[in-house]
Amino acid sequence: MEVEEKKFPSWMGSLIQNTIADTQIGEKASKKAMILAKSDLKEHFERGKDSKGNSWAPPVLRPGGKPLLDKGLLRASMSSGQSHYESSYSTPARVGFTIGSSLPYAAINNFGGVITPKKGPFLAVPLRPFQQKALGIKAKVLFIKQAIIPAREFAYLSAKAVDQIIAIYQEAYQEGIEQRS
């Protein structure tokens, strides 16, 4: 997930680029914004709600469990980094940040989708003892034609986080103006 200029007021992008891009102020602001955004994303796992406030679908194979928190690997995989864009004659240098997960199943959990078998007619889903009990079966493997994964949107910034990030960059912009004066 990359926070792009178009998510912020249009006037902000060019002013910030021209005022803080070539200073340490831009990097400091981006780091602060990146930490805030990463924290916001991780909170979505605890809330279990999408960007519209809808609760995530409950886990099918873990009755009573919290979605996406079985082992916490997806939440723990959220990583971030600063992005630096080189300047050219027509575009000033920019500093930003990126947040995301490198886990192969992150996207399907965020957007939802259907998993179908690649080889053979069925998917083989290994079952743990508590899952066998919850489903009332003794089989250690469940064979299914497809798995429908509901969307459980976690990769978004809350309105509060966006407002705080805007404030961080506005403060950096003001600091850049003051340094140039």
Exposed e or buried b per residue across 161-176, where buried means at least 16 C-beta atoms within 10 angstroms of its C-beta: bbebbeebbbebbebb
Closest CA to 148 of 122, 112, 117, 119: 112
* 81, part of any domain: yes
Specify whether 139 is located in the same domain as 162: no
* 167, part of any domain: yes
Structural domain harbouring 159: 5-102+154-180
- 52-91 pLDDT, tens digit per residue, is 999 999 988 777 788 998 788 999 998 887 765 555 554 5
Specify whether 127 is located in the same domain as 145: yes
* 108, part of any domain: no
- 84-134 pLDDT, tens digit per residue, is 555 555 455 566 778 888 899 999 999 999 999 999 999 999 998 988 888
Specify whether 25 is located in the same domain as 50: yes
Counting the structural domains of the chain, the total is: 2
Specify whether 143 is located in the same domain as 158: no
Specify whether 82 is located in the same domain as 13: yes
SS3 53: coil
For residue 3, the model assigns a pLDDT of 42
Specify whether 12 is located in the same domain as 89: yes
Q: Alpha-carbon distance 141 to 61, whole Å?
A: 12
The answer to whether 154 and 110 are in contact (CB under 8 A) is yes
Q: Which DSSP state fits 48?
A: T
* 107, part of any domain: no
Specify whether 160 is located in the same domain as 132: no
Residue 68 backbone class (left: φ over 0; alpha: ψ -120 to 50; beta: rest): left
Specify whether 91 is located in the same domain as 163: yes
